[in-house]
Structure formats: C-alpha cells, structure tokens
Structure 1
Amino acid sequence: MVSSAQSPGPTEPKFHPPTNLEAVQDDFYNKGVAFIEGCNEESLTKLAHQFGDIVRPRNEVNGAGISNIRFAPSLAGKGYSSDELYFHTDRSGWEHPPRIIMSTLTRKSTAGGESLLADTTRILKDIKDQGDGLYELLTNSKHASFRSDDGALIPRPIFDESSGLFRFRFDDSIQLSASLVVRFQQLLDILYRNSFAISLQEGQGYLLDNHRFLHGRTSFTGAREMLRALVNISPPLPIVTILFDIDGTLCRSEEMSVDAYYSCISDIVGKPITHTNTTVNLHGRTDLGLLHDVLDYHTVDNKSSVIEQFLQLHPSYLQKSLNKGLLSVPCPGAKETLEWLATRTDTEKSNNSSPNLRIGLMTGNSCTNALLKLTAAGINTSFFDLRISAFGDTHMDRLSLIQDSMAKLRAIDGHNFQESKVIVVGDTPLDIECAKQAGCAAVAVASGNYGMDDLAVLGPDLACVRISESKAYLDSCLGASVQAALAAPVSMVGG
C-alpha cells in the first residue's frame, strides 16, 4: 500500500503480472513506473530481456545478471545495509546510466523497508514554478560532479535538458558547487514533497525509469530481500506510421456526405439548411468544426444540444443516404496501395521480425462514419489500427486531429517515438500544412478537389495524382527505417 504521509504518488498503484507486457510497457513509458506482482527471479529475468539488455551487477554475478539486494555487510554499497537508502539515480557516475531498474520483493522485512520513489517531472515543475534560479543551477554542469567507476569526479548537470536525464545522489559520490550547496536544503524539501512511499508485499515490485525517477528505501529490521535487474533498452526498430485521410484520398462520397450532413442538421433544428444556402468551406474540415461554423452561419440557438443530437444521429443519416443510392467509391489506386502496404506488414510478420509499419486514419469523419464510407467503397477496414487513429467528431480542426494521433503514438512508443517517422496522406492544403506544423512528412494526392499545382506549391514531401504513385516514396521511407535500425549502435553493458 502507499504511505498516507506522501501525496504525489499513486493513491492505489495498479499491479500487473509480469506476463502482461503491454500493460507494463504502457505504464512504464507513460508514467515512468510500472508495478508488478506475482514475480519471481525467472519472470523478472524474462521481463528484463523483453525490454533490453541486462547490465552486469557490480557486486554479484549469478549468470542471469540479477542482484540480490539484502543486508550483507561484506558487499559494497549502502543498498546492502539495513540503513535508510537515500534518493538516488543508479549508476549516476556513468555517462549513460541504465535506463530501467526492475525489482521484486522476495522477503519482507519485520518493520520498515518501504520503497521511496520521486518523479523528477514533478520536481522540475515545482522548481520552475518557483522561478528563483535553482533550475539554472541544476541544468549547468559547472555546479555538480559525479564520481565515475575509476574514482574521478566528472562534471555533469543534475538535469540534462538535451537528454531528459535527471541524475542525483546524497553521498560522497556527488560534489556540488558552493552556489548549489547553499540551496541544497531547498532542493531536498522540494524532492521530498514530490515523493511517495510504497510498502511492497512479497512477489510485488516495480519497473522504474532510472532517467526520470529517483528511488530509495527506508531503514528496516529483519531479513528483507529484493531481486533487482538493471536494464539498457535495446535500440528499437524505427516504426513508420502512415495516417490516411479518407474523403478525397481513399474514397469519394460527396453526394452521400452532403445529403446526410445537411439532412441531419435540418431535421434537428427544424428548418432547411442546405449546401446551397450555406457558404461554408467543407474541404479538409472536421465534422465538429464544420458543425459549429454551419450553426453559427445560420444563427442557431442552443448549439450544445444540437451538436449532441447531431453526433448521435449523423451515422444513421449517412446510412440512409447510402441506401438511397448515393455511393462511396474508392479513389484511383487506393485499394491497390493499401493492399500493398498490408502485404509489406504480413511479410515482416512471417519472417518473425517486428513490423516497422503502422497504418491509421486521420479523418474529419467520426469513427462510425469513416468505417461506413470505407466499407461502402469496398476498402478493407482491418488494414487500419484504430488505436492510433483520430476522428473529427471530437476535434474542431485538422491540427488537433494530428496532435491526437501523435499523443496516442507517443503513449505507445514512449521515448522512442519520432514525429518524422509519421507520414500524413491527404488531398487538401490543410492536410499538408498541419502535417508540416506537427513535424510529420506529408504526401499530397490530387484525387480530391485540389489539383497538383494547388498542392505542390505548399511543399509536401511528395505530390502525386494517384495514391498508387506514392508507393516508391513510401517504400523508400520503410527501407530507410530498416537501415537505420541496422546501423544503430548496439547498447553496451556496463561493468
């Protein structure tokens, strides 16, 4: 359970079995810490290898690289005593400290021995909010030095803004400048008020981002034992993500869309609102943003109620329009291109390699309407990963759509996420502008309402008439992703 004396931590941490890799990864990359239960040495070792390479323990070597942290005066390090273990970064003197600390409790102490954790993201925000110069001291290597394995003190900032690494400790392995020494008590006060304590039960433990979290332990009595692995994350295979617009890019369904949109609004507000009596630009818009503009144009009162009804009823109106014979048809080359991309992914799976391609949707339609239009056009919707997709019934504009997908991708990939590996494929100037603003690549397809000249002048990474003409460019992006992974340096194991 969590100590009630500390407030910034989880009020009730959620524990996962070590076999639930997806849940453990989500918590680790999103929160910086993931709690596990039902864990022993075998499952801890297996989990460590699923994240990367185990760093050889300094004091003990058992073949698997797992340390037994316990009261053992013959071993070096305060972790092998029963004294309080102050907040620190493991291997803080290394140029690249191990990224992950994995621990599981195998024997609970008679009293004490709570794990102490502090999220430096909170600590840094607290320091910045004070605005009294302490942040500048922490980010300058002139004010702190850390002892390396050969005994030398190496100047390093406590917080490295370029890498996001926060390194710290309380003992004689850190040396501070006079300017920081006089502020040290202030720093400790901030650290402790942003910390929390966890009283683990046997078989419970955690994965900690050693670059983000500081950890320690209260003093204890009795025979407390904990297994620990230090892990360097393996270089990931860079994943290319392709986000497809729908209308004008994958399919065309203007008559169906216009009929359903305005029929639905008219029925809800009780007066005719049509495409001909509404001078609002439709192209590249989201359902929600367009709805606000249309209602403002016609000075409709009680907008919130109308919007709620519209979002609920709109899919049924789209189905009615389809039933009336207003069709959705695939854009030239769309089905062929999607099937080619799906083949690329299937080939990687059959070769037992991790797919380096994800396909999602970034559309102004709601999810229900998007899938209906694609299905009506004969496009297989199983190609698309809806977890990373963004839809227009919850976003006012195109840029927020991209930002939504980016946030979802960042939550899945953690620090390995790269905006430049995201490719937005669309048919409007807004698609290009928003993709570039978000740091993504842009493929412009002149299969909608804009011609090649209108799109090419905005400087997309590729402009083409048919989406199938983008295959060579997409293939080069996928090939570059694989080559980058092959050229990446192998993570080194510390001694």
Structure 2
Amino acid sequence: MLVDLQQDWAAAVAAKLAADGFAPIERISTRTQFVTLGASLGCIIAHRDSDKDGVTTLRDRGPLASKVGFEGFGTGPLPPHTDRSGVTEPPALLLVVCGQKSVTGGYCTAIDGRAVYADLAACDPAVLDALSRSRTALFGGASGHLGSIFEPAQGGRIRIRYRTDGLVKYSPDITRYLPVLAAAIKRHTILFGLEPGEGYVLHNHRWLHGRTAFTGDRVMYWLSLNPHPEFAIPSGFIPPGLPMAVAG
C-alpha cells in the first residue's frame, strides 16, 4: 500500500491546528515543496503581492516599505496583527517558511488570541466587553470591514481581528481600552528565530503574528490558505468557560 506523504503531513498539521491553532514545520527545501505541501493542507488564496503560484516573498524592498500596508517589505519591526483584516472572511491559515535568515534581529513574534482573551476575561472583563462590541473597528479603509476586535464565530467560538497601522480606525468608544489590550498582547508574546527551511502554520483567526527589526537580506515565504473541509479545522477558538460540546 502506498502512503501519501503529503496527505499524511497535512493531516498531522491539521490536527495540531485544530487543537492549538499553531504548528511548527521544518525541512522545507524547495519552493515547489512549499507550494505542494500548502496545497495538500488547503486551497491557496492569492494575495495582492503574491506570485502566480500564490507565494509572497517578503524581503527588504527599500522605499516600498514606507507605504501604508507595505511595511512587511522593509527591515523595521512589524507589530502584532492578523492578516487581511480588511476583508469579511480573511484567509484562515498562514504558512510561513524561512528562505534566508537575517544578520541580526528578525525574530518572529506570535501571540495566541485565546490566551489574550482569557487574560482580559479574568482581569479586565469590561475591556473585553468593549472590544467585542460590533461596529467598533473599521479595517482596511472605507471599503473594508466594519466589525470588532473579538467577533463571534460558528458554534459559540470567537475569532480575533487586529492591527495597529494606518489601515484601521477604532471607535472612540474603545480607543481608551487599546493600551490594556496591547499590554495583554505583550504578556503573551512568543519570540523565536527560524533557520532556512524552518517555519510554521498558524490559524489567522486565532493567532497574531509580527517580527522584530533586522539587518541583512532576510527572506521569508508566505502562503495564505483556507483549509480543506475534510480536515475540520474550526475558525477561531473556544472562549474560556464554554464546554467543548457546546463549542464543537
């Protein structure tokens, strides 16, 4: 009997994503392998900056990084955010692999939105309530998505949508609470480096991501995906206190 290594890899990653929303990966040696493995996990979603195969190459492109929404093409830090927040249904998964590491800096940052939600639920429930109100955040400009930072998903789950650049406007009703949220995000930030061929898959409806500033020719490859239905990877996360049976 033949074993489909791609499907076996995708099933293992999908199980990790369904449980934790984050899965490390390694030994990605070619761009073709990267795309093939991504396609085995989900349907590749084209990005504004992607090539024909759906891959976006992030590296320093000088003046381009000074434009709003293009900061990823510079060497500066990227604050924690979710991808494609300005569309109603952002891609669910991000597949990332390192092509070339930086000389200094360039560490990845990742933050579990469920941990941030639980932190606020325990310590600042009024803040959490405010950040969950509908129509309090406009993502992506006038033609973007009007919603909230924490929003309801299917089955009583919650998903997060967040950014801090010029592509979001928050209602005055919640602006005063944003520093509390930023402090909670900082408390739960994970910092890690990647060697060439190493990467991760994260659930974009649950995890925030970013990077620190760097020097050198750092190269990262990205794919946006929506998981294949057979993997049953749910959107968002189960809020604290909600029974599994209700959330499923």
Q: Is the 8 A contact 2:98 2:196 kept in 1?
A: yes
Q: CA deviation at 1:235?
A: 3.4
Q: Is the 8 A contact 1:34 1:208 kept in 2?
A: yes
Q: Distance in 2 between matches of 1:20 and 1:51?
A: 8
Q: Is the 8 A contact 1:116 1:198 kept in 2?
A: yes
- The match for 1:342 is none
Q: Deviations over 1:112-147 (max 9, x none)?
A: 000100000000000100244111111112321112
Matched, 1:47 2:37: yes
Question: Which has a greater percent of strand?
Answer: 2
- The match for 1:459 is none
Structure with larger Rg: 1
- The match for 1:203 is 197
| Structure 1 segment 223-242 matched on structure 2, within 5 A | 223-236=217-230
Q: Is the 8 A contact 1:166 1:212 kept in 2?
A: yes
**Aligned with residue 135 of structure 1, among 128, 135, 154:** 128
Q: CA deviation at 1:91?
A: 0.3
Q: CA deviation at 1:28?
A: 1.6
Matched, 1:83 2:72: no
Q: Secondary structure at the match of 1:189?
A: helix
Q: Is the 8 A contact 1:145 1:176 kept in 2?
A: yes
Q: CA deviation at 1:231?
A: 0.6
User: Partner amino acid for 2:186?
Assistant: Y
Matched, 1:93 2:86: yes
User: Partner amino acid for 1:89?
Assistant: T
Q: Secondary structure at the match of 1:142?
A: coil
**Aligned with residue 415 of structure 1, among 210, 220, 234:** 234
Matched, 1:121 2:114: yes
- The match for 1:177 is 171
Q: Secondary structure at the match of 2:62?
A: coil
Question: Which has a greater percent of helix?
Answer: 1
Q: Distance in 2 between matches of 1:92 and 1:26?
A: 25
Q: CA deviation at 1:71?
A: 0.6
**Aligned with residue 66 of structure 1, among 44, 55, 75:** 55
Q: Distance in 1 between matches of 2:194 and 2:72?
A: 17
| Structure 1 segment 228-377 matched on structure 2, within 5 A | 228-236=222-230
Q: CA deviation at 1:19?
A: 6.6
Q: Is the 8 A contact 1:120 1:214 kept in 2?
A: yes
- The match for 1:156 is 147
Q: CA deviation at 1:20?
A: 2.9
Q: Secondary structure at the match of 1:28?
A: helix
Q: Structure 1 residues 192 and 186 mapped into 2: Cα distance closer, same or farther (>3 Å)? A: same
Q: Distance in 1 between matches of 2:131 and 2:101?
A: 36
Q: Secondary structure at the match of 2:98?
A: strand
Q: Distance in 1 between matches of 2:227 and 2:87?
A: 16
Q: Distance in 1 between matches of 2:202 and 2:194?
A: 14
**Aligned with residue 102 of structure 2, among 99, 105, 109:** 109
Q: Secondary structure at the match of 1:188?
A: helix
TM-score (norm 1): 0.43
Give % identity: 28
Q: Is the 8 A contact 1:144 1:175 kept in 2?
A: yes
Q: Deviations over 1:374-430 (max 9, x none)?
A: xxxxxxxxxxxxxxxxxxxxxxxxxxxxxxxxxxxxxx74428xxxxxxxxxxxxxx
- The match for 1:215 is 209
Q: Distance in 2 between matches of 1:22 and 1:185?
A: 39
Q: Structure 1 residues 60 and 22 mapped into 2: Cα distance closer, same or farther (>3 Å)? A: closer
Q: Distance in 1 between matches of 2:86 and 2:174?
A: 19
RMSD, matched Cα: 2.1
Q: Deviations over 1:276-304 (max 9, x none)?
A: xxxxxxxxxxxxxxxxxxxxxxxxxxxxx
Q: Structure 1 residues 103 and 19 mapped into 2: Cα distance closer, same or farther (>3 Å)? A: farther
- The match for 1:25 is 14
Q: Distance in 2 between matches of 1:21 and 1:93?
A: 28
Q: CA deviation at 1:21?
A: 2.9
Q: Structure 1 residues 89 and 161 mapped into 2: Cα distance closer, same or farther (>3 Å)? A: same
Q: Distance in 2 between matches of 1:234 and 1:19?
A: 14
Q: Distance in 2 between matches of 1:111 and 1:132?
A: 39
Q: Distance in 2 between matches of 1:112 and 1:137?
A: 35
TM-score (norm 2): 0.83
- The match for 2:138 is 145
Q: Secondary structure at the match of 2:94?
A: strand
Q: 183-192 or 227-236, which moves further after superposition?
A: 227-236
Q: Secondary structure at the match of 1:200?
A: coil
Q: Is the 8 A contact 1:18 1:43 kept in 2?
A: no
Q: Is the 8 A contact 1:109 1:222 kept in 2?
A: yes
- The match for 1:36 is 25
Q: Deviations over 1:58-89 (max 9, x none)?
A: 1232x211111111136461111100011111
Q: Distance in 2 between matches of 1:88 and 1:18?
A: 30
Q: Distance in 2 between matches of 1:101 and 1:60?
A: 13
Structure 1, gaps ≥5 residues long? 1-16, 237-411, 417-437, 440-495
Q: Structure 1 residues 128 and 211 mapped into 2: Cα distance closer, same or farther (>3 Å)? A: same
Q: Distance in 1 between matches of 2:212 and 2:50?
A: 23
